Structure 1
Amino acid sequence: MRRAVKPWLFQPSKRLIILLLSLALISLAILKLPLFHTDPKPVEVPVDPIYRERIHSYVREILAKECRPSFARQKMKTEHSRSTQVVEPFLDLNTHLNEQIFQYPPPFGFMNMKNKLQEILSLLPASSESGRGVRDCHRCVVVGNGGILKGLGLGHLLNQFDIVIRLNSGPVQDFSADVGNRTSIRMSYPESCPKVWEDMDSELKYVAVIYKSVDFHWLRAMITKTSISLWDWLFFWQKVPVSVPIKTSQFRLLNPEIIRETSSDLLHYPDARERLWGWDQNVPTLGVSALNLATYLCDEVSLAGFGYNLSQKEVTLHYYDDKPMTSMLKEAMHNVQTETVFLKRLVTSGSITDLTGGIHCKFCSS
């Protein structure tokens, strides 16, 4: 008599599944190493002193004008009537969570993550402030990381804005002459968070953006000053900081409705659709999401260091490294062309101002 073969003998064990998954993630990480990139070194473009002074005059003119209360948000509502007002840009334990926030996966919502969300909210302080100080009207500048900032010497003028929002790991210490050294808000996800922390403002807020489930684990570790598990490390696509040296009261959690509104209502992207690896091109860049956030926190909004001139492929992409513009051509998650059209429309209508002219230059000669 033949012995019956048990079906489970042909099923892969949990250890084998974990091993195969780990190998796949390690292989993906290896492919992202600089060793496999052959981008040419970007060309250094000197800044014309006359052009630099023209930019300085333009920024000084903006700072000298009388601030217009609620201007940016009202213009956004007028120009994008289908946009739904986000009640609270940051989430805390007192936030009323509507069901829509659980209808989409990150970064558009927290589908199937209610327990993780509640755990984080229990650790965060109440964020009732709108980002405003004692003045009645506030000007906000969102400082991008574009190479267009290099050599402009705008740092002392950017420092004069009421609220300075910085993105990802954009450094300030060795670049303050061009980008300033004040930071009111630093906005990032784990992989883009600064590995070396340089923001020393006592009023600084770190705004965490959740893109995947494991980001909650990282944020909890940063708030509680504990370590991340070895298993969690496998799910980050590049090295993440092991600590963020700020107080618990300085952490904020971005309401994913800000990103969903940016994607759906402002950029008119189709509904979120996740693929096996990553997303379709329906995830807005953090820069455009930060712009939308700024319209809720500030009365007037300006941009600096924005604009991807993809026709100049050998120009520096960032102000702080040698990565060329060609790097953006490989970007599969973001649709920078659509974003550029959107931003240009806002600048030309006067809803926001572009201090460095990378989107639309109002101070350039004809």
Structure 2
Amino acid sequence: MREPGGLCPPSWCPQRRDVAAAVSPPPVRIPGDSGEPGMTSRAAAAGKTFPSHALLREDGFGCLAMLSDDNSVKLKSDCSPPVQWCKVAAHEDEKTNLVFKRLLALFVIGGCFLYVLKLHFYPEECDRTKTPYVDFDRVKRAQQYASAVLQEQCRPSFVKKAMGKLFAEKYSMDIPPFVGKNIDDDEALFKYGPPFGFHRLNDAPVQGYTDHVGNKTTIRMTYPEGAPLSEHEYPPASLFVAVLFKSVDFNWLQAMVKNETLSLWIRLFFWKEVAKKIPFTSKQFRILNPVIVKETALDILEFPKPRSIFWGWDKNVPTIGVMAVVLATHLCDEVSIAGFGYDLDQPSTPLHYYNNLCMAAMNRQTMHNVTGETKLLQKLVKEKVVKDLTGGIHCEFCNKDS
């Protein structure tokens, strides 16, 4: 018998299983020829006929076996899947394709958006064909001053003690400079997100500039976008100190330590090209303690605390330079700085000695409060906590009588 009123069998329509049970006979097996095992009416799909004593039932595929005039069992037509099931399956396929298309479109739009952001925020370059004015007399006096400073007798732990006196409870003399293995023991690391929680600066090169900047690099401290692309800028005996500002910075550092390739998806989140390889062993990598970043920004500079905002920054993230100065006070007996200072009144002046960026780039950026940092450095130099060898912050040798 066939279930009245539809093509949907009980196996696909649970709500009608009780009706089917009432009108359908129990399943039977149909004996085959020459003693072969019996077969159900489903075998009729192959076009076979069976003896007339076979009992009939509707099988699980909606196919109905019926008794023909010659007392043979033949398969009735309409063995295709139910129409309702086909419609549901087609609808599910359409939904899947629609979701896939939407995800693909979202991925493409997101990639284009990140690319536009990179073009918008990448600093404008200066014309380096115009040689800036150089006061050679000042250069000579700066060299003499630096030579005299380096010949002075070293004062052990001088700068750390001076910082403790100058900033009282704002400066901690016991902060470890780098992240250790047992970071779970330090609750201060988890109070804020990166870079506040979790020495050669950035990409400043040595090759080709040794006459002016020297040829020794003990520590290179930077973030992913600031790391030199050339492997020649990493002396074998130096250390790499990573400053991590965002979550993908951790992915980049992990790839560098393990000598792995960074995925294209992760690279999209950096505003400029990042180094693909740093020729160091894992023992030469360090992570700057975020508590030092927090101490620099929130305690010493007294910048506003981090807060969640939809776009931009609060100008509460210190520059790598100022963070390096504070780090040096935790590592060294005495600290001297060279090449520091932003002359914001001359926007067309080169920002660095090694690239085409102009001073105007520091006026346009929205992350760093360079005015507040300059005041801090001036205070450190004037209070003789650190010494400025090039006079960009506060010049001790600019008076010709000195």
What's the TM-score, normalizing by structure 2? 0.71
- Report the alpha carbon displacement of residue 276 of structure 1 after superposing the two structures with TM: 3.1
Residue 190 (structure 2) pairs with residue 102 (structure 1): yes
Counterpart position of 1:25: 114
Q: How far off its partner does 1:202 sit?
A: 3.4
Query: SS of 2:200's equivalent?
Result: strand
Instruction: Pick one of 287, 293, 296 that aligns with 1:259.
Output: 293
* Bigger Rg, structure 1 or 2: 2
Equivalences for 1:207-222 in 2 at 5 Å?
Answer: 207-222=241-256
Structure with bigger RCO (C-alpha 8 Å, 6+ apart):
1
The counterpart of 1:187, out of the listed 215, 221, 235, is 221
Counterpart-to-counterpart distance in 2, 1:42 and 1:339: 31
Q: Confirm or deny that 1:324 pairs with 2:355.
A: no
Residue 323 to residue 358, structure 1, CA distance change in 2 (3 Å): same
The structural deviation recorded for 1:201 is 3.4
Identity over aligned pairs, percent: 42
Residues paired across the two proteins, number: 306
Distance 1:253 1:49 in 2: 39
Q: Secondary structure at the match of 1:80?
A: helix
Partner of 2:394: 360
> In the alignment, which of 294, 298, 306 is matched to residue 340 of structure 2?
306
Q: In structure 2, what is the Cα distance between the partners aligned to 1:346 and 1:63?
A: 18
Distance 1:32 1:221 in 2: 26
CA drift at 1:322: 3.0
Structure 2 residue matching 1:26: 3-state secondary structure = helix
Identify if the C-alpha distance between structure 1 residues 225 and 189 changes in structure 2 by more than 3 Å, giving closer, same or farther.
same
2:150 to 53, 60, 63: 63
Residue 326 of structure 1 deviates from its aligned partner by: 1.5
How far the C-alpha of 1:15 sits from its partner, in A, is: 4.1
Distance in 1 separating the partners of 2:323 and 2:138 = 29
Q: Distance in 2 between matches of 1:356 and 1:296?
A: 23
AA matched with 1:18? F
Q: 1:55 to 1:39 in 2, by over 3 A?
A: closer
Which letter does structure 1 place at the counterpart of 2:298? S
Cα distance, 1:28 vs structure 2: 1.0
- Helix, strand or coil at the partner of 2:371: helix
Structure 1 partner of 2:231: 197
CA contact (8 A) 2:303 2:316 kept: yes
TM-score normalised over the length of structure 1: 0.77
Are residue 296 (structure 1) and residue 339 (structure 2) matched?
no
Q: After superposition, what is the alpha-carbon deviation per residue over 1:179-202, rounded to whole angstroms, capped at 9, x for unaligned?
A: 111000001111111011334533
Deviations 1:67-118 (A, max 9, x none): 11111111111111132425211113245542221121110011xxxxxxxx
Give, in angstroms, the shift of residue 234 of structure 1: 1.4
* Cα distance change on mapping 1:233 and 1:200 into 2, 3 Å: closer
Amino acid at match of 1:173: Q
CA distance in 2, matches of 1:14, 1:89: 44
Contact 1:171/1:198 (8 A) holds in 2: no
Q: Give 1:324 shift.
A: 2.1
Q: Is the partner of 2:170 in helix, strand or coil?
A: coil
Whether the 8 Å contact between 1:310 and 1:326 is mirrored in structure 2 is yes
For 2:346, give the aligned amino acid: Q
Q: Give the Cα separation in 1 of the matches to 2:279 and 2:311.
A: 32
DSSP 3-state at the match of 1:67: coil
Q: Using the alignment, how far apart are the partners of 1:322 and 1:25 within structure 2?
A: 24
What's the CA shift for 1:210?
Answer: 0.6
Deviates more, 1:289-298 or 1:233-242: 233-242
RMSD: 2.5
In 1, Cα distance between equivalents of 2:132 and 2:119: 33
Change (3 A) 1:38 1:197: closer
Deviations, residues 259-299 of structure 1 (Å, cap 9, x unaligned): 11000111010101343344210000000000000001101
- Higher mean displacement: 355-364 or 271-280: 271-280
Partner in structure 1 of residue 61 of structure 2: none
Mapped partners of 1:234, 1:50: distance in 2: 47
After superposition, the Cα gap between the structure-2 partners of 1:224 and 1:43, relative to the gap in structure 1 and judged at 3 Å, is same
- Cα 1:273–1:42 change in 2 (3 A) is farther
Whether the aligned pair in 2 keeps the contact of 1:302 and 1:354 (CA below 8 Å) is yes
1:216-264: CA deviation from partner (whole Å, max 9, x where unpaired): 1111100001111221111111111111111211111111111110001
Counterpart of 1:90 in 2: which secondary structure? Answer: coil
- Tell me what 1:176 maps to: 210
